[in-house]
Structure 1
Amino acid sequence: MVASGGVPVAVTVFDESERQIWAGRAAAYARSFARLCAHPVPRLLDAASVGPGVRLLDVGTGPGTVAVAACARGATVTAVDAEASMVELAGRAAPAADVRIAALPGLPFSEGEFDAVVGNFVLNHVGRPKAALTELRRVVRPGGWIALTIWAAPPAAGQALLGRAVHAAGVARPSHLPSLAPEDDFPRDERGLADLLGSAGLRDAVPGTLRWDHRASAEEWWSGPAAGVASIGQVVQSQTPGKRAEIRRHFEALASEFADDDGMLALPHAALLARARR
């Protein structure tokens, strides 16, 4: 892969795994975890000062949730995703946006092309986060804002529910799902994210933590991993039918901890939101 600046960009084993994990899964994601990931979008756009006439790049657009909201604010939106099925969904959802396939850390845009850049949880899915941020810095104009969200670690109780069910069933992470290389990883807390932004040459970093309870039915929450969505879905799908059934039994038992009187789950989540400027 080659970035638009002509600099060769290496694709890591983690990047290749992410491409395989998400291939063809846009519809399943839209039915399961997309509503959860939409929660920070208004705050994300505020952090990047997105309003009428702003030339915005939405990186890792997924089904286009951020692009739709930014278009509604009057921004001129370009949205990219590495996965073709996501680009198809986003193009239908946000017809006013320029939606195309592209992947970090090699974007097909010129230096300083955008007034602002946003990435909603995209850093969770790149093998070299610092290189990804350096590329985002390249394509935003001097003084322009970059705003990002990423899941906090350790995870909040609702976010940990599915992992607890997998652990209770005695399932280990499959060997075909790589972790980030130690030299590319960073602490998933406010200080760690701020330091990462600074290491990529960004300034005036302002990190914060968003906390909320996501309401979903148990069936909706299980549908994501059952369809192989995200790494947790790959863990579930890689098991035998009997072991998958065992994971689900543990999930249903543990989910009762979060059930409201109406049977809906109220799942606590925590995400980091930070902005910085070029």
Structure 2
Amino acid sequence: MSKAEEVPVPGAAATPFDAGERRAWAGRAAAYAPGFGRLCAYTVPRLLDAAGVTEGARVLDVGTGTGTAAAAACARGARVSAVDAEPDMVRTAAAAAPTAAVHLAALPQLPFPDAVFDAVVGNFVLNHVGRPGAALAELRRVTRPGGRIALTVWAAPPAAGQALLGRAVRAAGVPRPPDAPALAPEDDFPRTADGFAALLRTAGPLAAVECAVVSWEHRTTLAEWWHGPAAGVATIGRVVTSRGPAATERIRRHFVALAAEFTASDGQLVLPHAALLASGRVAP
């Protein structure tokens, strides 16, 4: 039976960025799942492969969201624990991965002993933490010597499909709200293959680090792709909804116009995306 534990973790909102992330994601699991959630699922098989997730492995899925990676790891026969900082995501993930132990917890403090997992995965979780270096150090702490850590982040500059919503926001003249702080410069890192690999080598520190660019075309519809931002999902959703209904509608009109360049003959959107997948091994 799945176990969903909603136990507050000290320091869960350690930075203004972390606090902003909690506000951005509160209660939005259902709005996230069909659009952005389906998009993020693309990298899961390669993420699990990079971490060496096989039958019987003790696996931690950090920032599990709606539980896609946790469920996929369970399907491989792994013994899975998963965490997320948002209670709504915890409940959703527990239902998606009923044989996993799903906990409420936030990086950089996890409720696990040292060296307990054979593999740790995080599908885009480092995009949502205020101190990526500290988060990596914590992931290394809970991974056994010889175990593997695999993580994804979005590449920067973003691929054309990923940039679509941001282009619509800029065309509408809507600024980023002041209560949506950016990552502190001293905590940020280049969102390139070399920059992400360097973070794993130094902040982990991890051995045998590899990083690859994963590119794909995400097929969706205008309605599906607009639904998440219009519901306030993620930072882009906070921007879209920050200035009231009139501004949101102005952004939507620009989104529809700009989306024409990505519309296939069947009416679906075909949106190019690119992510970085990095992995490394905890040295003995």
Return the TM-score normalized by structure 2.
0.94
Residues 39-94 of structure 1, C-alpha deviation per residue, up to 9 Å, x if partnerless? 00000000001010000000000000001100000000001000000000010111
Q: Secondary structure at the match of 1:176?
A: coil
- Which residue of structure 2 aligns with residue 228 of structure 1? 232
- Which residue of structure 1 aligns with residue 68 of structure 2? 65
- Which residue of structure 1 aligns with residue 264 of structure 2? 260
**Alignment counterpart, residue 98 of structure 1, candidates 96, 101, 107:** 101
**Alignment counterpart, residue 81 of structure 2, candidates 75, 78, 82:** 78
Residues 129-179 of structure 1, C-alpha deviation per residue, up to 9 Å, x if partnerless? 000000000000001000000000000000000000000001111111000
Checking the alignment, whether the CA contact within 8 Å between 2:12 and 2:18 is kept in structure 1 is no
- Which residue of structure 1 aligns with residue 132 of structure 2? 129
Partner amino acid, structure 1, of 2:60 = L
Q: Cα offset for 1:233?
A: 0.2
Identity %: 66
**Alignment counterpart, residue 205 of structure 1, candidates 196, 205, 209:** 209
**Aligned ranges 1:1-278 → 2 under 5 Å:** 11-200=14-203, 201-278=205-282
For residues 84 and 9 of structure 2, the distance between their equivalents in structure 1, rounded to whole angstroms, comes to: 16
**Structure 1: which 5+ runs fail to align?**
none
Q: Secondary structure at the match of 2:162?
A: helix
Q: Secondary structure at the match of 1:52?
A: coil
For residues 73 and 281 of structure 2, the distance between their equivalents in structure 1, rounded to whole angstroms, comes to: 19
Checking the alignment, whether the CA contact within 8 Å between 2:217 and 2:272 is kept in structure 1 is yes
Q: Cα offset for 1:240?
A: 2.3
For residues 13 and 103 of structure 1, the distance between their equivalents in structure 2, rounded to whole angstroms, comes to: 14
Partner amino acid, structure 2, of 1:216 = T
Q: Cα offset for 1:242?
A: 1.4
Partner amino acid, structure 2, of 1:262 = D
For residues 234 and 273 of structure 2, the distance between their equivalents in structure 1, rounded to whole angstroms, comes to: 17
* Alpha-carbon spacing, 1:39–1:75, altered in 2? closer, same or farther (3 Å): same
* Alpha-carbon spacing, 1:252–1:179, altered in 2? closer, same or farther (3 Å): same
Partner amino acid, structure 2, of 1:270 = A
Checking the alignment, whether the CA contact within 8 Å between 2:13 and 2:22 is kept in structure 1 is no
Return the TM-score normalized by structure 1.
0.96
For residues 55 and 111 of structure 1, the distance between their equivalents in structure 2, rounded to whole angstroms, comes to: 13
For residues 83 and 113 of structure 1, the distance between their equivalents in structure 2, rounded to whole angstroms, comes to: 23
Checking the alignment, whether the CA contact within 8 Å between 2:56 and 2:79 is kept in structure 1 is yes
* Alpha-carbon spacing, 1:69–1:9, altered in 2? closer, same or farther (3 Å): closer
Q: Cα offset for 1:9?
A: 8.2
Alpha-carbon RMSD across the aligned residues, in angstroms, is 1.3
Q: Secondary structure at the match of 1:159?
A: coil
Runs of 4+ deviating beyond 2 Å: none
Residues 230-272 of structure 1, C-alpha deviation per residue, up to 9 Å, x if partnerless? 0000001111221111100000000010000010000000000
For residues 36 and 207 of structure 1, the distance between their equivalents in structure 2, rounded to whole angstroms, comes to: 20
* Alpha-carbon spacing, 1:44–1:247, altered in 2? closer, same or farther (3 Å): same
